[in-house]
Amino acid sequence: MAGLINNLLILLLVFQNSCLGFRNPLSVFKRYKDTTRSLSSECLGNNRPVISLGLTDFALDIRMPGVTPKQSDTYLCMSLHLPVDEEAYVVDFRPQASMDTVHHMLLFGCNVPSSTENYWDCDEGTCTDKSNILYAWARNAPPTRLPKGVGFKVGGETGSKYFVLQVHYGDVSAFRDKHKDCSGVTLHLTHQRQPLIAGMYLMMSVNTVIPPGEKVVDADIACHYQKYPMHLFAYRVHTHRLGKVVSGYRVRNGQWTLIGRQSPQLPQAFYPVEHPVDISFGDTLAARCLFTGEGRTMETHIGGTASDEMCNFYIMYYMEAKHAVSYMTCTQNINPDMFRNIPQEANIPIPVKSDMIMMTHGHHHEETKKTDDSFSLKQPKREEEEVLDQDFHIEEAVDWPGVNLKLGQVSGLALDPKNNLVIFHRGDHLWDGNSFDSSFVYQQRGLGPIEQNTILVIDPSNADILDSTGKNLFYLPHGLSIDKDGNYWVTDVALHQVFKLGVHDNEPLLILGRSLQPGSDKNHFCQPTDVAVDPVTGNIYVSDGYCNSRIVVFSPNGMFIMQWGEETSVGKAKPGQFRIPHSLTLVPEFGQLCVADRENGRIQCFRSETGEFTREIKHKLFGRELFAVSYIPGGLLFAVNGMPYPGDIVQGFVMNFSTGEIIDTFIPVRKSFEMPHDVVASEDKTVYIGDVYAKTVWKFTSTETETVIEARLKNKPVSTESQKKWEKHHIVEQASPGISFVLITTLLIIPIVVLLAIAVFIRWRKTRVYGADADHKLESSSGRILGRLQGKGSGGLNLGNFFASHKSYSRKGFDRLSTEGSDQEKDEDDGTDSEEEYSAPPPPPVSSSS
């Protein structure tokens, strides 16, 4: 028996070790912290190179460790080990550099860096094995964000284990004060498997010579494509000072299709491919760089110094994971004659305003050299080409402490006239399956009203509580809005009423509806959800509600004016039909009122004066439910969907009100959306979202960024089934707050009980046990599909070797590895889920329109 007990203990230890697989993947960072490199105190952010962003995501800060280059055209490299063993996916790149000090940066992925030092001269190489370019930056380019579902794969069995950052310091006059440089890039990585794998295709001229004084010089590159299909979504151009325009094309059956065209004198960002372009076996990829030799007295060659030139056209693409190739290059011109048919646009420089050139360099008051208007080949100026088109991206303000406020179920948000955030929450009350009977009469009056202040005024910068009110007034708070005079307008679904409150008044200034009496006439509501007040007329709009399907309008003193809306009929919802009108927002510029038609998963807009239907906004990305909507002057509409169904992603949306087009989507990095319930936005595009399940509020801010619109993935090559599986997996990971202690304990106890039962049975039968489990190890390997250009060591892209092999190259010492210069609360006591706020039965499936 003692032997049996010993065996059971061993099995228990083995099982406990296997359960470590349930730990948060970011726990491996603890071992990484002990080996963090020593960094300069001037390098902000470098003391925490790894930042947890939730259960599955993390940020990696890759920075130069406080360096001071001593001569111009210095290339310095540093490496950072991927802090996790599991495979991860890079989904976002955020540069931390200025053109005032850095000429360009490249980020490589590999397994064996050329040095183990904190940093080293890149003349030693970047990697001793094969390396992939993951990112490139120059000329104050904004951040690059990948489309949803696309990522650069790193780690695991086949991905890169190291990141190597190469920084080219062109003119070091900025270091006269001997300050230390901490330039680099911050990566956003996720453990969530991405169905599409990103890669980089580099087209590069290596033998171009630009004669002095020559007005027009072409550098052409072309290669046959002989791989699995790839889908292009972003491009980037790079030259030095003599470059005027760089253009890239797909050539198929003699037809030239533009991939991208841009002036290299503008910020060298990754720009979105305007129209989806796919590359198939047998296509030709072609690119042309247009230079001028005017102003030069000597020949200019391709090389790595600021006085040399480069001709690079980068393409970001994605492929199906099973066929993915992470990096490809093209450095030749397989058919010079084909360029006789290149579109004329490739021979015309893009005009760049002088002030844009100054902004690109970070200067605003210095005189500049001649602009491109002095270039010999001219064209009529096209306004859209003279203005750099930059989008904005909404992302969480991760340093905002408001996410840690102690709140009840957050049901409503608004901004007061001072732009302070106002939160409406439920304190210690919950909306669950016991709150109402079948007639929608509130069943928990015995609890009394909420004893805490339910309305909190929050400083938007530091989340300090500036004021509070609403104690002993409400049972189940829901909607909140604030009028132009700063009065609070709220709804209570338990009381079936709407209230107007002064900021410092203890008693309501106006009450609509009858207390605790549900109804559908002009004097009653049934669980009203939201209220909005017209800033011009003072008219009051009430969305009513969970058990009515209408919008009710009152005069400023509470007199009934009109109503519209009806319950959704069987089949596709018609205009003016609602299935829980859940949230309201006024659009004064267009005289409209927009409604989040929750269970129909859409936004409906009406003329506020007449109730006449004007439009519907509905997207597949909304999923089945759309919970809240908020409009800001300037034509932007913000929305958030709610509890996920299989295939839905809970996220925030930014839309163009005029077109209904989705401009951006966003999710938090701290915690996860569980059931976001309300959204409010300010004119500066600061967005707040409150969540009834998570009992928290997130703050999001806008940043100018080069955004690749998700719509460009419409022709993605993954099957519908695999995409659905990925989305379902994504939802499960996003909605789950983590493996609970109870679950882990249960998993530990169950096998012990089973083993004990087996032991008792064996003893009872007095039989001998023979058990020998052979270990089966599953070995997998994947070969690299594409051979790469060899640098120092055995791998790495080394232009020095390229250039040295060409007659035209005469630079000495260039051997750098470079390519360029209802809101139901979860019951925490019993672990079960109570019902969220009342939700109408889901309608029959209907087709979603975008």
Question: Which residues does the annotation mark as catalytic?
Answer: 103-104, 166, 168, 238, 240, 310
Cα gap 635→464, rounded to integer Å: 31
Contact criterion met (CB below 8 Å) for 245 and 261: yes
Q: Examine residue 783 and say whether the peptide bond preceding it is cis (omega within 30 degrees of 0).
A: no
Would you state the torsion angle of the CA atoms of residues 52, 53, 58, 64, taken in this order, to the nearest 10 degrees?
-70
Cα gap 590→584, rounded to integer Å: 15
Cα gap 385→48, rounded to integer Å: 41
Q: How crowded is the C-beta side of 389, counted as CA atoms within 13 Å?
A: 10
Q: How crowded is the C-beta side of 684, counted as CA atoms within 13 Å?
A: 8
- Sequence-distant (6+) residues with CB within 8 A of 462 are 401
Contact criterion met (CB below 8 Å) for 679 and 628: yes
Please give the distance of CA 673 from its chain centroid, rounded to a whole number: 14
Q: In this structure, what DSSP letter does residue 175 have?
A: G
- Helix H or strand E encompassing 4: helix 2-19
In the numeric block, which tokens belong to residue 268? 């060298």
- Helix H or strand E encompassing 90: strand 88-96
Residue 487 sits at φ, ψ, to 5 deg, of -75, 145
Paired strand residues for 665: 653
**C-alpha closest to that of 839 among 550, 625, 602:** 625
Q: Is 26 helix (H, G, I), strand (E, B) or coil?
A: helix
Q: In this structure, what DSSP letter does residue 28 have?
A: G
Contact criterion met (CB below 8 Å) for 671 and 694: yes
Cα gap 160→263, rounded to integer Å: 32
In the numeric block, which tokens belong to residue 521? 């006439």
Contact criterion met (CB below 8 Å) for 232 and 290: no
Paired strand residues for 163: 80, 109
Contact criterion met (CB below 8 Å) for 840 and 576: no
Instruction: DSSP for 243-291, please give it.
Output: EEEEEEEEEETTEEEEEEEE-TTS----EEEEEEEEE-TT-EEEEEEEE
In the numeric block, which tokens belong to residue 660? 């209904």
Paired strand residues for 181: 67
Cα gap 224→43, rounded to integer Å: 45
In the numeric block, which tokens belong to residue 794? 């055995």
Instruction: DSSP for 795-834, please give it.
Output: -S--HHHHHHTSTT---SS-----S----BPB-TTTSPBP
Instruction: DSSP for 500-529, please give it.
Output: EE-TT-SS-SEEES-TT----STT--SSEE
Residue 402 sits at φ, ψ, to 5 deg, of -60, -20
Cα gap 186→206, rounded to integer Å: 30
Cα gap 106→797, rounded to integer Å: 11
Contact criterion met (CB below 8 Å) for 426 and 825: no
In the numeric block, which tokens belong to residue 372? 């491109």
